[in-house]
Amino acid sequence: MQEYVIHPLVVGINETDQGVMTYLRDYGKRIYLPIYVFYLSGGDKNILVDTGLEQFMVPDGAEDACGFKILEFEDALATVDLKPEDIDMIIHTHLHNDHCENDYKCTNAEVYVQKKELGFMADPHPVDHRYYPDVLDDSKVIEIDGDANILDGIDVIFSPGHSVGGQSVAVNTAGGKAVITGFCCNDKNFPTTGPAIAPGVHIDLTEAYDSIQKIKEMADILIPLHDLSIGRMKSIP
């Protein structure tokens, strides 16, 4: 089976509350929430998981506090010797705006998204402001319905709850199966004992809880979608 190396690139940051990550826990604790693009190297295609934010501000002192640089999309890709037009495939965990604002720059990419997520994005509920219905208008979209094999060594696992059509991305690596979660979480969602903690922001709590337990059990290497420590790694594994 093809092996890949995962390169986390930080393309945006927010300052928020830990309760956004962990349901009914740690409200009032301020945290930085990094926005990642993951470049998967090792195969014959240039593959990204998510494309991050296009417009963002970096709070004073954030880079020093976090221990990594926060870059514009093009500058982040340049650190792995790529340009947006070099990207062949984008696999989306979900379509909240902080995960897909730079898709339109990747003019040669196919974009892989769950069918349910696309349907919801086209007509989002009024309370959910994180969807931009036209964000993929110029993209070559490939609809996925449930769990699927994308390429040798890369699978998606339907992971609803945080969003209607979230999908986690399982990547075969030299260190085992690495899974990029299809929902917003950080290391605090995964205590050393007991069940994982559901994301604090969700569209369906029971689905969110079930999804995070499933992903925790299947991963040899767990990559929480907004964990600070991931940004300090040049590559995984």
Question: How would DSSP label each residue in 27-89?
Answer: TT-EEEEEEEEEEEESSSS-EEE----SS----TTHHHHHTS----HHHHHHTTT--GGG--E
110-165 pLDDT tens trace? 999 999 999 999 999 988 889 999 999 999 999 999 999 999 999 999 999 999 99
pLDDT, residue 15, reads 95
- pLDDT at residue 153, as a whole number: 98
What's the mean pLDDT in 61-65? 96
Q: Report the chain's terminal Cα–Cα distance, integer Å.
A: 16
Residues listed for the chain: 237
| Model confidence at 213: pLDDT above 90 | yes
CATH number at residue 192: 3.60.15.10
Please tell me the number of Cα atoms within 13 Å of 132 on its side-chain side: 14
Number of domains in the chain: 1
Confidence of residue 169 (pLDDT cuts 50, 70, 90): very high
**Which residues span the domain enclosing 48?**
5-232
Q: Considering the domain boundaries, does residue 202 fall inside one?
A: yes
**pTM for the complete prediction?**
0.97
Residue 137 inside a domain? The answer is yes
Q: What is the pLDDT of residue 128?
A: 87
Confirm whether 29 is domain-assigned: yes
Nearest one of 158, 147, 43 to 89, comparing CA atoms: 43
- Reduced to 3 states (helix: H, G, I; strand: E, B; else coil), residue 161 is coil
Answer whether residue 237 is part of any domain: no
* In a domain? residue 71: yes
Predicted pLDDT of residue 129: 87
User: What pLDDT sits at residue 140?
Assistant: 98
